[in-house]
Structures are given as structure tokens and as C-alpha cells.
Chains A and B, each alone.
Chain A
Amino acid sequence: MPLPPLDIEKIKKEVIDSQLWRSVFRGGVWKDTPRDRAGHIIGNVWLHLHPVKVRPRALKWAYTWGMGGISFALYLLLTLTGVALMFYYRPTIGLAYQDIKDLEFAVTLGMFLRNAHRWAAQAMVVAVIAHMVRVFLTGAYKKPREFNWGIGVLLLTLTLFLSFTGYLLPWDQLAIWAVTVGTNMAGATPVLGNEGPLGSLVGMRINNDVRFTLLGGTMVGENTLLRFYVMHCVAVPLVVGILLILHFWRIRKDSFSAAPYEANEEKVDVWPHLVKREYIGAAGTTLFIMIWSILQNAPLEAIANPNVTTNPSKAPWYFVGLQELLVYFDPWIAGVVMPGLIIVGLIAIPYIDTNPKGIGSYAWKERPFANTLFMLGVVMWFALIYIGYALRGPNYAWYWPWESWFMVKPAPPPTWSVFGPKPDGAYSMLLGIPLMGAITAAWMLLPKLIQKELDGKKTMGAFLGLVALVGAGGMAMGKMGATEVAFLLFFLGASFYYGFVLPQRHIRTLDWPRYSVTMVLVISTMSVLLKMCARLTFNIKYVLTIPSISMNF
């Protein structure tokens, strides 16, 4: 019996018209009309967070860098790979490391999934930072988007916190020492930590402070691993998910782009133009992570030993900048106050920056101060990462890239403190506290009090001349070498330019509250440069030390 000829079109029509198909996919025949396109967005639960139409600039890669979408794609990839890894991982000290080894060598695709999870996490840190830089440079955080920028800052913080909680889980040497250091920083929190300033005064002990709650004990142990596991796999992703919904909702409500409308600007259909790009971005991201995961395996160090630290011991790259900062400042400053200031400062930016210009475009000239200072912060952060990652060797000593780590470095020279009670400080606190107070007050007030704009070149020239003069004096007295003078010129010059000349030129007309907050952030940033200079040039440990209350600056 000959088969009847196959009529594909007829079968297709019958399938589509069937009750089963119609119950799942609603709508009539797709004719690609504007109504169809709108219906595709509105009628789909996953797509309906989009508007039906967007401004064409939201589609331009050169404008958006696609980094927000790529961050979200990575978040989804991390959820998928993370859930897969959970099937083979048990968060106990006796089993965790073995389970990771099993994932690497005994589970089909285990190594690949772990690699993908690790590399996607690192890529997400990069993508979120790049997204923030893009949003900043295009002024996209300005009114009415201040709140959403704040949500974004929190999401960046949580991205880093997810990484931090994640790397305890393999229970290797990196895991235990990174978390030991991280939680000891929490133990140095003022008031709430047992080793922080004022902590012991309010009765903080090793078994009742904030560090104790993080660890679930007095040392990194079984409870810690379980706590970090729960935070990493459930608690933090849940919070991130809620904030993401809020973040996306606000983007939609604020119609994607802040730029002033161009003449005859017509919105384009989200389907297919935007959705297509999102799919391409997600596919590209997935492909990139897959290739990376095939080519390179995620690191795994020796099993955790709570008694012996590897030499040198370094945090994952995105925290090495913080690790380097901890060389110069006490833990409560570098580990608590400064990260706190960075987060609060970033959230505060849209409320401080009242410059109405430069919204929705890369307009450096229209907002020179905001862009310069923000990018200075980003560059400093990555410079610290570079120093910690590339220039630190055994015993965390300074090794230039061309120096072998097998070379034995001479012991670092003894450090000293400038002001403080004897024998800790070289000079009296009674001199130091008023002097430092006066310098800080002058630095805070002078840029605004000098009404007339100073000539930048002349001011810088005069300042550098003064520094050079001091340096020459120091060299003549045999107290400084050429390196020290060069360091002085660089660090003091940079601090003076970014911390005084630029604020004097650009923000002296701000109202006092905004001006003061900006200057606090600027001076805090410059204090990093100045403290690095003091340590690297003169071996100064503290500029002011008050050991009785654990206050050291």
C-alpha cells in the first residue's frame, strides 16, 4: 500500500491548532505585526519584565557594553552549575575536600562543572565591576536613578560576598586561610569585635562577638563550613535574586536610558531587537565559560591545615587589593572602615553629584571631577591588586617581577611610629593630635574657602618644588636617597593634585553638606596613597598610635 504524500504544512497546522498546543502557546498565527511583537513580550511571563518598546540606544553595545545582561547570564550559569555541584558535595570537614577531589577525578563532567562555576564566578566579578564603570561614565545613576544605583552597589558587594563564602567550601589551604583572615577582620570591627577598638570595653570576647557568629565557634571549623555553605547556596543567592528583580524593575520603569531624547527618535520593538541581543550575549557568555573551563582547571590547593599557612598566602585576585591594603592599615581600618566607606560612598554618589550634565553619554569634559576621582579609585583598586598579586613573594615580601622567589630577601627594616606615647611613638601625642587635626581641618576647608580658582599648573609647580626642596635637604643630610625623593614626589604630588587642586577647581561651589561628604571620601582615598608613601619610603608603621585603646592610624 503506497503511503499518502507527506503534507508538512498540513501536519504543522494540525499540531498548532490542537488543543494541547493552544493550551501552552496562546495567540493566533504569527504574522510579525507590531501587535504580535507586543503580544510576545506581554504574554510571556519571562519576557514581560521588558517593556514592549525601548529607545534605540539601549541596543548599542558601544553604549551599554552589555555588561548588565552578561552579569545576569553569569548569575544564571552559576545557579545551574552550583546546583549541579551540590549533588556531589557534603559540607563537613572530613568529606568536603574528598568530595571536591571526587568531582575532579571520579564524577563525569565534575571537573568541567567545577571549572565552569569557578570561572563564571570570576567573570561575574569582572562583569559587575565593568557594568558599574559603564553606568558611572555615562552618568546613568543620576536623578531619578539614584536608588537603583544603590541597589547595584549592594549587588556588587553581594557578588563579592558570594565569592568569599564560596571559596571556603573546597576546604583547601586557600579556603581556610582566606576565611581565617576574613573573619579575623570582622573580629577587628570597632565595638562589635573582640580585637577591635572599644570592643573589649563593651564586653566583647572571642566567644560572643561578630566573628563568633560568622564562624559559629572560636576558630574556622565544622560550624563555619556549614554556615558558609548555607550562606553561599541559599541565603545570599536569595537576597541577590530579590535585589535583581528590584534592579530590573527599576530599569524598566526608568525607561532604560537617561539620555535626552533626540529629534525624531523612535522607539524600537523589544522583540526581536533587544531579546535577540540578550540571547546572543547569554550564548556568547556560555560559550566563553565553556571554552575557558575546558582549557583551564580551577585551582585546588592542599587540604586545609588549620595550624600551618602556605607561604606566601594570597587571597583570590579580587581581594588581593584588600590584602595589600591590610599591610598599611590596621585591620579595623583596612578591613572594616574602608570597605564600608567605599560601599556607603558609592551609594552616596548620586546624591552628592548634582551636576545635571553628562547624562546618557560618555562626556568626560562635562563632568571632569566625578569621572576623574571615580576612575582614580578604580585604578588604585586594581593597582593594589597588581601589587598584591604580582609583586609579593614569600613572607609577603616585595619581589619585582624579574626577581626569583627563591632569592632570599633581606629582613625588612624595623618600622617606627611618629606620634604616640613613649616608647611606641617617636614624638608626643600632645604634639601629634593637634598637628594632624589642624592638617585635616585645613585640607577639609581650604579648597572651599579659597574663593578664587587657583592656577593649577602654578600651584602644582609650587607644591612639587617644595617637596623637591625637602627631598634635596634630606639627601644632603644623608637621610634620603633618590628613590625616597622620587616616591615622595609621586605620592605627595598625586595626593595634592587629586585631593586639593581638583577639588579646589571643581567642587568649591558645592553646598557645605555635599562638599564635606565629597572631601571626606577624597581625603580617605588620598590617605591610602599617603600611608603607602610613609611605609614604603620611611618605614613608618603608624603616623599616630594610641595603644591603650587600639587606635592606630
Chain B
Amino acid sequence: MSETNPNPAPEPAKVPAAAAPVAAPAAAPKPAVKPDMSRGDFLWAGWGMLAAFFAAAGAAGARFMFPNVIYEPSQKFNAGAASTYDLGVSTKWLNEQRVWIVRTPSGFYAMWARCTHLGCTPNWWGDQNRFKCPCHGSNYTLDGDVIAGPAPMPLWRTKVTLAPTGDLIVDKAILENKPGKRENAPYFADYASA
């Protein structure tokens, strides 16, 4: 019957059926509609959302701790006329810029005065030809290579260039400490001795 009649039952026909519950109270079979979600699944979804909320809140809190703007001094400075430096290590800029300017017979390199171990400032001991760190006793050669103590790698050399004015421009944001690379531009400024 239903196969031949595509139309659904007319609306008014339903009304008396629904309006007469007294006829068949609980005996009516439950509709065989499977719920989209079981009670257990619903609960799990709820807990899952709560967990997701806490995870997101945690992640947001962690992200909050990373500042987007930081106000720190520029890493670039003018170290003055190259001609004013003598051969060897100059500690002229240590207190202000944390950099040693080293003049060799053929030019200049600049080293960031930050121990590669845990970031203290080593001191230059000219009589022993070493940089020595006061915090854990690391020792470096004039080239910045580690010869004693716990430091894991050589001191960083910074970018150093000779400006047309004859001034040395040091940029501590650009660093290199690998032998073979650190001896070349921009980590070395050619300046033949007069």
C-alpha cells in the first residue's frame, strides 16, 4: 500500500491518534529512532570539551608569557677610529658594549665578551695571553678558542666593518665562531698596519 502511495498520511489523520493517548498508554512501541549520541558519549564529549578548554587556557597562558615587543638596546655601535687602536686586545668598549676589539697586523676582529658556558664576562690577562672567566673558570686563547674549563665552544666574534670614515662599526647581532669562517669578512676588517 505504502509503496504505491508516495504521499504521507494526511495531517488531520494524525491528530486523533495523538489526541487519544488513553487508548494505548505505555503499550505503544518506542520509535525505533537510534539517538545520534549515547548518554555516555555525550558525557565524554563534555569532559573532552572541558579538557580542551583547560588545555587552550594553559596554552594561552603560556603564550601570554612571551612578550611581542621588547625594549632592548641596539646591538650595533661605532667603535671609533680604527687608527686609534694598538696591536692586541683593547678593553676600551668592555664596560659599555661588552666587546673586545682585537687588532692584528692585518686588521681587526671584535669578540663578544660573553663566556659561551653560561654567559659571564671573562677578563683578559695579557701576561698569560688568555681570557679567563670568573664564574666557572673557562679559559680562552687570544683567538677565542677554549683551552681549559667547561666552556663548550669558542667565543663569538661579531660582525665588524670599516666605515668610509675610518671608524669601526661593530654589530653584535651577527656572530660567528667557527674556525675558517670567523677569520673572513664580515667578522674580520682588513686594515694593513702603517
Chain A residues at the B interface, C-beta cutoff of 8 Å: 177, 180-181, 184-185, 188, 207-208, 212-213, 216-219, 221-223, 305-313, 323, 326-331, 335, 392, 394-397, 411-415, 539, 541, 547, 550, 552
A212 touches B97 (CB 8 A): no
Q: Is the CB of B98 within 8 A of A396?
A: no
Please name all residues of chain B whose beta carbon is closer than 8 Å to the beta carbon of A327 when the two chains form the complex. Answer: 136-137, 149-150
Query: Bound complex: CA of A216 vs CA of B71, how far in Å?
Result: 10
20 contacts between A and B (CB under 8 A): A180-B120, A185-B118, A208-B66, A213-B66, A216-B65, A216-B70, A307-B95, A307-B98, A308-B121, A310-B134, A311-B134, A312-B135, A313-B135, A323-B135, A395-B134, A413-B148, A414-B147, A415-B147, A415-B148, A541-B150
- Asked whether, in the complex, the Cβ of A181 is within 8 Å of the Cβ of B118, the reply is yes
User: Which residue of B is nearest A312, CB measured?
Assistant: B134
The main secondary structure of chain B at its interface with chain A is: loop
Kindly state the separation between the CA atoms of A223 and B68 in the bound complex, as whole angstroms. 12
Bound Cα distance from A313 to B95, whole angstroms: 17
Interface residue tally of chain B, by bracket?
A: 35 or more
B contact residues around A415 at 8 Å (CB): 147-149
B55 adjacent to chain A (CB < 8 Å): no
- Nearest Cβ distance between residue A531 and chain B, in whole angstroms? 11
With contact pairs A217-B72, A326-B136 given, residues A184 and B130 touching in the complex (Cβ less than 8 Å): no
| Complex partner residue of A395 from B67, B119, B133, CB under 8 angstroms | B133
The residue in B70, B72, B135, B149 that gathers the most chain A C-beta atoms within 10 A of its C-beta is: B135
> In the complex, what's the smallest C-beta–C-beta distance from B81 to chain A, in angstroms?
22
- On whether the beta carbons of B70 and A181 are closer than 8 Å, the reply is no
Compute how far the CA of A17 lies from the CA of B96 in the bound complex, rounded to whole angstroms: 73
Contact (A180, B119) CB under 8 Å given A223-B70, A308-B95: yes
Q: B150 contacts which of A212, A310, A330, A397 (Cβ < 8 Å)?
A: A330
A323 nearest in chain B by CB position: B136
Q: Which residue of B lies closest to A539 (CB)?
A: B148
CA distance A208 to B67 in the complex (A): 10
Question: What is the CA–CA distance of A218 and B114 in the complex, to the nearest angstrom?
Answer: 13
Q: A216-B67, A217-B72, A307-B97 are in contact. Are A412 and B149 (CB under 8 A)?
A: yes
Cα separation A328 to B139 with both chains bound (whole Å): 14
Interface residues of B in 51-97 (CB under 8 A from A): 62, 65-67, 70-72, 94-97
List of A residues within 8 angstroms of B117 by Cβ: 326, 331
| A330 in contact with B135 given A217-B70, A395-B123, A411-B130 (CB within 8 Å) | no
Among A217, A415, A550, which residue has the most Cβ atoms of chain B within 10 A? A415
Q: Which of B127-151 contact A (CB under 8 A)?
A: 128, 130, 132-137, 139, 147-150
- Residues B139 and A309 in contact, CB atoms below 8 Å apart: no
Q: Nearest-CB distance from A331 to chain B (Å)?
A: 6
Which among A221, A307, A550 is the interface contact of B113 at CB below 8 angstroms? A307
Besides A213-B66, A221-B72, 16 other CB < 8 A contacts?
A180-B120, A185-B118, A305-B95, A306-B98, A307-B98, A308-B98, A309-B134, A311-B123, A326-B117, A326-B136, A335-B118, A395-B134, A395-B139, A411-B148, A539-B148, A552-B152
- Scoring B72, B120, B153 by chain A CB atoms within 10 A of each residue's CB, the highest score goes to B120
Chain B residues, Cβ within 8 Å of A212: 66
Q: Which residues of A lie under 8 Å from residue B125 when comparing CB positions?
A: 395
Interface, chain B (partner A; CB < 8 A)? 62, 65-67, 70-72, 94-98, 113, 117-123, 125, 128, 130, 132-137, 139, 147-150, 152-153
Instruction: Name the contact of B120 in the complex, choosing from A177, A392, A394, A547 (C-beta under 8 A).
Output: A177
In whole angstroms, how far apart are the Cα atoms of A312 and B149 in the complex? 14
Give the CA-CA distance A415 to B147 in the complex, in Å. 6
Q: B152: which A residues are within 8 A, CB to CB?
A: 330, 547, 550, 552
Please determine whether B118 and A180 come into contact, CB atoms closer than 8 angstroms.
yes
- The CA of A205 and the CA of B70, in the complex, are separated in Å by 15
Q: In the bound complex, how far is the Cα of B122 from the Cα of A396, in angstroms? A: 11
Distance (whole angstroms) from the CB of B85 to the closest CB of chain A: 19
User: In the complex, what's the smallest C-beta–C-beta distance from B139 to chain A, in angstroms?
Assistant: 6
- A330 neighbours in B (Cβ, 8 Å): 150, 152
A313 to B122, CA, bound (A): 11
Contact of B121 among A217, A307, A414, A552 (CB under 8 A): A307
- In the bound complex, residues from chain A placing their C-beta under 8 Å from that of B135 are 177, 181, 309, 312-313, 323, 396
With A184-B119, A221-B72, A411-B128 known as contacts, the answer to whether A396 contacts B137 (CB < 8 A) is yes
**Do B119 and A217 have beta carbons less than 8 Å apart?**
no
* Complex CA distance for A539 and B137, rounded to whole angstroms: 13
Query: Within 8 Å CB of A216, what residues of B?
Result: 65, 67, 70
Question: Within the assembled complex, what's the spacing in Å between the Cα atoms of A397 and B139?
Answer: 11
- Residues of A contacting B98 with CB < 8 Å? 306-308
B66 close to A395 (CB less than 8 A): no
Beta-carbon contact of B134 and A328 below 8 Å: no
Distance (Å) between the CB of A392 and the closest chain B CB?
Answer: 8
| A541 CB contacts on chain B under 8 angstroms | 150
- The 8 A-B pairs at the shortest CB distance, nearest first, are namely A396-B137, A311-B134, A395-B132, A412-B148, A307-B98, A309-B120, A184-B118, A184-B119
Q: Which residues from B are CB-within-8-Å of A180? A: 118-120
Q: Quote the shortest CB–CB distance from A108 to chain B (angstroms).
A: 36
B136 touches A414 (CB 8 A): no
Tell me if A218 and B65 are in contact (CB < 8 A).
Answer: no
Question: Using Cβ atoms and an 8 Å threshold, which residues of chain A touch B150?
Answer: 326-330, 541
B62, B96, B113, B120: the one contacting A181 at CB < 8 Å is B120
| B171 → chain A closest CB, angstroms | 15
